[in-house]
Structure 1
Amino acid sequence: MEFDLSWLLLGVPIVFALGWLASRLDLRQLRIENRQAPKAYFKGLNYLLNEQQDQAIDAFIEAVQRDPDTTELHFALGNLFRRRGEYERAVRVHEHLLSRADLPVADRERAQHALALDFLKAGLLDRAEEALRKLDGTRYQEQAWLTLLSLYERARDWPQATEVAVKLERMQQGDFTHRLSHYLCEQAATALTKRQDVAQAEQLLQQAIQQAPTAARPRIQLAGTLVGQGDVGGAFERLTELERHAPQALPLVASEMVRIAQQIGQLGRAREVLQRSYTGHPSVDIADALVQADVADGMPLRDAREGYVRHMAVEPSLIAASRWLSQEPFAQDGAHTVVQRSVEEAVRPLARYRCAACGFEAQGYFWQCPGCQAWDSFPPRRIEEL
């Protein structure tokens, strides 16, 4: 049987036409999808700008479903989940990105960093530490180390914090000298309170002094340790060293210095140290300590409290006025108690210490702010004097 070529000639145009039609349909579908994906993206962006996060999330999910390869949409969605506190969903988004074998190195590092932040915000500190450790050698390494340092400080893991701080200092990310000294002081406090290991505590505090000779805390803490061991003379020597190494901290220990000096017969020397400090930088705490020294040395209280008046002549002070009034006789019976209580209520907020970093206020002095966790952010002066 002969093959009819006419059918072949007729079929070729038909096949070509069908192929062309199919390609046009595919192209049309692709254009529709490409128009829909940006539309969903911009709709989500509009919701986000209007602070409608629920609608923004729905729009971004729609956009991701239409184009699963869009990494930027995944990052936007993950960040939205984290900001809303939906940490589990944020983790799933970033872990999905990390599971993709075709993800570029830069995006993989970014996803790893975002995943670490998810764990950190969720309070999963162990997983956050593991994720941050994986950022070594990436462009997020310094940020990761800074975050790890904060993490170890929160966990009070001082050896690990020391390791990271040393790395950061070698990377020239700041001067961590005083912070490393604080870590040694924290370890000394732990050795003393939890293990009653006085020798270890003293050794750590000596290391802290060598680490940061101008830091006030190691000498003050060592003085307290020596007092607890009955070495009052050694404690007094550590406190007097502050005049040379950390004079700004003397107001913090002025009254304690007078008390210790009285026990060992060194009131004259303590008064000299405090008077020199007061002459250079008048302070209500040092003025109060000088009054206490005069009273301890036998001066009548009425004469000694004139020190408060002299201080008020130098620097007006409601704190000094309150302490002077506490011993002043009133002509009207019963008025003294009422007036004194009112003045003390007014003075109490002025006698606090305030963090220079976040404004946190406290009656006591802190080496690390309980509010913002900053070190040495409390000036050693009362709010009234700032």
Structure 2
Amino acid sequence: MDFDLTWLLWGLPIAFALGWFASRLDLRQLRIENRLAPKAYFRGLNFLLNEQQDQAIDAFIEAVQNDPDTSELHFALGNLFRRRGEYERAVRVHEHLLSRADLSRADRHRAQHALALDFLKAGLLDRAEEALRKLEGTAYEEQALLALLAIYERSRDWVQASEIARKLDAGTAGQFAGRQSHYLCELAAAASPAEAEQLLQQARLAAPGSPRPRMDLAALRRKAGDARSAFELLQEAAGSNPGSLPLLARPLVEAAVACGRQDEARAMLQAAYEQTPSLDVLDGLTALDSDPEAARTRYVQHLQREPSLVAAAKWIAGEKLEHEQFHPDVQRALDHAVKPLTRYRCAACGFEAKQHFWQCPGCQAWDSYPARRVEEL
């Protein structure tokens, strides 16, 4: 059978034309898709920069619909939902990412971390804990441990908090020995006297410079009737951390009176006061004075060194005024005026309280309350 070259001559141009036409269609479709997705994406970024979150979400949703396989758009959308407080929608976005089989390992870890943040912001601490635990061994492990530590502190689960703090202390997140000491003190507060003794001794070793373990241990010994040991522990605390003496002054005086070591306590408090005048140290000294007149004189001498409305109110309380019938009214007004000045203020968030806290009730920061009162700051 003879081969007809006519078909070959016609077939080659036709095949070439069809191939060229198909390539043009593919290029055109690709250009359309590339124009649509970036346009919606950049429009969303523009809305986001102008703090128009509603419009930004609409633009990102459009971009995701045009290109559902783009993980970055999903991350941007999920973060926007979380920032707006729409935690349920953020969870759905990040769970959708985790369900994708084609997601890379790094993006899977990123989506798991984002999901944990969604639960954390929504206040679903049990689900947040479960999600954070899955990040062990990933690039987000340290961030996950810090979040877990905050959860356990918030729920006052000091055993779990101590475990996480040990892991963080072994890493590069910083030093957590001080927190470990606080956790042990918190556990001791709810333990039997024998167990509390052991826990507080561990706390002393964990943070040798912290005054709290010795203060709590001194209170435990004082309650057991061992005032001498309590006094020596408070002396030790003052020596290792002189700045904490205003907190130690009252229990130090009480222990000194109970074991007959007033002279030692007076000498220690006087030396500290001469170096750094303090109202609490001054109150400790006046408590050791047997003569009321000598005690009132101390407040006058303090006023000569430091202008203090608190000291003035305490001095006037023991004085006879020319119009003594008005003294109660004047004293009541002064006591009302000095109340805000006798508070403690958190250095991290400014939260004020009548008593000293080791952990701020406002911002949950540890050791953020100075030992000195507001008037002295």
TM-score (ref. length: structure 1): 0.90
2:323 to 306, 312, 332: 332
**Superposition map of 1:107-256 within 5 A:** 107-191=107-191, 197-256=192-251
2:362 to 371, 374, 378: 371
The CA deviation at 1:95 is 1.7
The CA deviation at 1:338 is 2.2
1:361 maps onto 2:352 in alignment: yes
The CA deviation at 1:77 is 0.3
The CA deviation at 1:11 is 6.8
1:261 maps onto 2:252 in alignment: no
> Conserved in 1, the CA contact under 8 Å of 2:211 and 2:238?
no
CA distance in 1, matches of 2:172, 2:59: 44
Give per-residue Cα distances to partners, 1:77-128, cap 9 Å, x unaligned. 0100111111111111112222222222222222121111111111222222
Q: What is the one-letter code of the residue matched to 1:151?
A: I
Q: Aligned to 1:146, what secondary structure does the other structure show?
A: helix
1:282 maps onto 2:274 in alignment: no
CA distance in 2, matches of 1:290, 1:334: 30
- Who is 1:39 aligned against? 39
Q: What is the one-letter code of the residue matched to 2:218?
A: A
> Conserved in 2, the CA contact under 8 Å of 1:288 and 1:308?
no
Q: What is the one-letter code of the residue matched to 1:275?
A: Q
The CA deviation at 1:185 is 0.2
**Superposition map of 1:90-105 within 5 A:** 90-105=90-105
Q: Which moved more, 1:43-52 or 1:182-191?
A: 43-52
Q: Aligned to 1:28, what secondary structure does the other structure show?
A: helix
The CA deviation at 1:35 is 0.8
CA distance in 2, matches of 1:10, 1:26: 25
CA distance in 1, matches of 2:131, 2:168: 18
CA distance in 2, matches of 1:172, 1:274: 40
- Who is 1:341 aligned against? 332
Give per-residue Cα distances to partners, 1:280-329, cap 9 Å, x unaligned. 222111111111110xxx31x23321111111222221111111111121
CA distance in 2, matches of 1:177, 1:104: 37
The CA deviation at 1:68 is 1.1
- Who is 2:309 aligned against? 318
Structure 1 outlier segments of 4+, above 6 Å? 2-9
Q: What is the one-letter code of the residue matched to 1:214?
A: G
The CA deviation at 1:223 is 1.9
Q: What is the one-letter code of the residue matched to 2:147?
A: T
Could you tell me which runs of 5 or more consecutive residues in structure 1 were left unpaired when the two chains were aligned: 192-196
Q: What is the one-letter code of the residue matched to 2:210?
A: A
CA distance in 1, matches of 2:182, 2:152: 14
Could you tell me which runs of 5 or more consecutive residues in structure 2 were left unpaired when the two chains were aligned: none
> Conserved in 1, the CA contact under 8 Å of 2:246 and 2:281?
yes
Q: Which moved more, 1:129-138 or 1:9-18?
A: 9-18
CA distance in 2, matches of 1:3, 1:73: 58
**Superposition map of 1:81-96 within 5 A:** 81-96=81-96
Q: Percent identity?
A: 65
> Conserved in 2, the CA contact under 8 Å of 1:243 and 1:273?
no
Q: What is the one-letter code of the residue matched to 2:109?
A: E
> Conserved in 2, the CA contact under 8 Å of 1:243 and 1:277?
no
How many residue pairs get matched? 377
